[in-house]
Copies of this chain bind each other. A is one copy, B any other.
């Protein structure tokens, strides 16, 4: 592939990255904010991992193929995309588990405070995991959930920890990470940022925000595949002192000493838990090769162009639709959401015509714009179909109202 010769700098033209993805024929895929498409290099990379490593080395793969180190080496590769320093990110588990670890560590910092603050724009599993942890702790903590607009106003010295998803999964509304981190620190509390809709979608600068904890998944914008492992970032000074709630053997200082007592590993290593998913990591590794070719600033600039193009088209051609996402690109992520009473049916009608977006209750039609493989022509094609579906009421057909078990 000629592209690899460009690795010294960054690609400026995303048509080159688009060619690196397998996009289902005849579809415009605007759902990479839910599951990124298959990088063409993944099948061969996994085949190598299977045949050359698992097949030929078997148990020896843990050392000889570097499997044991991959949660860290892959975390380091990812760290550039979220503005984290090397050695501060580790891969593993699922985002839900990483929420639990981060919040458990955060709550150790202010044991006398009993309020965990979040907002109703957080992804539900973050709230569920937090609630589960608080009940497990049984120390009378309260999970206080306010609307996103109120968060800044209610952060005060009663707050033990703030946990927020930077980009709202439904609307694409984006919190100001720098400002809210500073506000939280001014109140003497740590903050946890969920980057599920940020990593690979926009520029994140955890280190310069002095963020405490961050977590995210790699199957959305990062294209790691279905069930790709999550990541956790812990600011190095905090990692050194955190006591892991999920004290798994691979977070032990010396896992293969098989001591009966747990001694946490150095820094971020203590946020490892169990055996890493090597086959999933191979897929992510291949995807990260593509990410090394681009700068997040270029990705973000292109994302803003695509979302502006989409908004302008919707406003011009589909006046019956309200735009749910902020109009100001500085306040939104890389998706555009539309309010429409019959949104579920409309999404089905779009999907039937090859435009892949998704629906989120109660009335959100959601479209992700992912510059690595989405271009202006895709946006225009999506607008043409949306125009037809909305203006001819093509959604108003019984088959489009039948709900599938999951979307």
Over the window 353-394 of chain A, the binary record of Cβ atoms lying under 8 Å from chain B Cβ atoms (1 yes, 0 no) is 000101011000000000000000000000000000000000
When distances are taken between beta carbons in the complex, the residues of chain B under 8 Å from A258 are: 124, 170, 360-361
A6 within 8 A of B: no
Quick one: which of A306-320 are within 8 Å of B by CB?
none
Sample of 4 further A-B pairs with CB below 8 A, known A67-B226, A132-B244, A136-B245 = A94-B275, A136-B136, A227-B275, A277-B277
A10 within 8 A of B: no
When distances are taken between beta carbons in the complex, the residues of chain B under 8 Å from A38 are: 50-51, 54-55, 58
Q: How far is the CB of A51 from the nearest CB of chain B, in Å?
A: 6
When distances are taken between beta carbons in the complex, the residues of chain B under 8 Å from A183 are: none
Q: How far is the CB of A141 from the nearest CB of chain B, in Å?
A: 12
- Copies of the protein in its oligomer: 2
Number of interface residues of A (CB under 8 A): 95
Q: How far is the CB of A363 from the nearest CB of chain B, in Å?
A: 12
Which 10 A-B residue pairings sit nearest by Cβ, starting from the closest? A94-B274, A132-B247, A125-B249, A227-B277, A96-B248, A226-B278, A96-B274, A128-B262, A38-B55, A128-B247
Question: Are the CB atoms of B124 and A260 closer together than 8 Å?
Answer: yes
Which of B51, B59, B93 makes the CB contact (< 8 A) with A43? B51
Q: How far is the CB of A39 from the nearest CB of chain B, in Å?
A: 10
A148 within 8 A of B: no
* A128, A133, A406 — most chain B CB neighbours (10 Å): A128
When distances are taken between beta carbons in the complex, the residues of chain B under 8 Å from A228 are: 277
Instruction: Tell me, in angstroms, the Cα distance from A361 to B259 when the chains sit together.
Output: 9
Question: Are the CB atoms of B58 and A35 closer together than 8 Å?
Answer: yes
Q: How far is the CB of A190 from the nearest CB of chain B, in Å?
A: 17
Question: Are the CB atoms of B104 and A97 closer together than 8 Å?
Answer: no
Question: Which residue of the partner chain B has the closest CB to A251?
Answer: B128
